[in-house]
Amino acid sequence: MAVVVGAALLALPVATESGESAGLVTALFTATSAVCVTGLVVVDTESHWSAFGEVVVLGLIQAGGLGIMTLASLLGLLVARRMGLRLQLTAQAETKTIGLGEVRAVVRRVLAISAVVELLTAVVLTTRFATGYDMPWGRAVYEGVFHAISAFNNAGFALYATSLTPFATDPWVNVPVMLALITGGLGFPVLFEIGRRLRGRTRRWSLHARITLTTYAALVVVGVVGITVIEWSNPDTLGPLGVGGKLLVGAFQGVTPRTAGFNTVDIGQLNSGSLLLTDFLMFIGGGSAGTAGGIKVTTFALLAFVIYTEVRGEPSVHVAGRRIAADVQRQAVTIALLAVGAVAAATLTLLLMTDFTLDAVLFEAVSAFATVGLSTGITASIPPAGQLLLVGLMFLGRVGPITLAAALALRERARRYELPEERPIVG
């Protein structure tokens, strides 16, 4: 419904600078990208949309981010409560639900964290735009708020045709944006737990928080080091910069595949190795029940633990002193394989529709599914049918993993018998 309403508003003549309707496909694509906090665009946000259109886009980003975050947090809490009760009190598991007070508490905390992070980021960006770039204070406030909301919600929309490349070597712009997108990408269950630890209410990390923080940090290091090393001498990206500029730009481009979608270099000029590494990082995404997309770092980590356990020949998966239930393992495998299938099918279809290279098409498909928003610059040149395919991929990538995970966790079927066992040849 949010996508439909947003598309209708963006299709109005008042939403464009020219005063003419943007067209249904352009309006639908932009609205979906905003609500799904992706950031892919077929027209330049700043020059194509009027002030009304930009405010609509910003509202869709905030609504999509808060709505998805709130829903995901509540679904995660519901799953955790019901699964925990099945382990402890099976007889009461079917009737136990979240109380109204808990729902309100979760929503209040989500809103509070969102408001605080976006406000702090906006203040820093506004001050920098006004004092460092002689921007009028009114415009500085507008751009600071816009980019702060876009960053925290991992949307990737920018008011510049080249994203944040005009500020590539400015740490006062890059660092606040990186901190905002990391905070939003960790997921609210982890942020809640960090808050409880800071207040001294708990001394023990939950398994989910430990897996998320450790895997997220490891992937950030891989991204930052990998992009910086691969692009260090590339004359079209990091090559012309000094050491400090290379490190800052490399850090930003290593963090942004966590589904942020901003870029400070021309993505189309990256080496094939950097594109493939970014594909990998985008597909994994960020933390569960947050603004990030992808299959989520916990899904990736669980698959790695399953492989490690199988290689060691152990009968069950153990992580940090806890045994991982078999149904959780199946959920991780299901989500990952369905995601691979969706990206592969979309990539093949786009290859048949266009003349672009596999590198560019795969990057576009992964970016859409993982709701990242990075692009090699081909989005606007994809035919309308291909753009509609990306619309479906963005929507699937945003709501699919959350819905599927909740459905698999809450849906159990009792099997009254087991069939005879047989082992097919593997490998």
Every domain of the chain and the residues it spans: 2-410
Residue found by looking up tokens 């964290």 in the block: 113
Q: How far apart are CA 37 and CA 340, in angstroms?
A: 21
pLDDT on residue 88: 34
Name, in order, each residue with C-beta under 8 angstroms of 326's C-beta and a sequence gap of 6 or more: none
Position 107 scores a pLDDT of 73
Nearest partner of 81 among 66, 94, 71, judged by Cα: 94
12: phi > 0 → left, psi -120 to 50 → alpha, else beta; which? beta
Task: For helices 207-231 and 188-198, give the axis angle rounded to 10 degrees.
Answer: 110
Q: Which amino acid is at 362?
A: L
Which pLDDT tens digit goes with each residue over 136-184? Answer: 999 999 999 999 999 999 898 999 988 999 999 999 999 999 999 999 8
pLDDT over 50 (residue 307): yes
Q: pLDDT > 70: what percent of the chain? A: 88
Does the pLDDT value for residue 207 go beyond 60?
A: yes
Q: What is the DSSP letter of 136?
A: -
What amino acid occupies position 157? Answer: F
Name residue 226's beta-bridge partners.
none
Q: Around Cβ 169, how many Cβ atoms within 10 Å?
A: 17
**What was the pLDDT predicted at 366?**
96
Q: How far apart (Å, rounded) are the C-alpha atoms in residues 398 and 37?
A: 8
Whole-prediction pTM = 0.86
pLDDT at 91 over 60: no
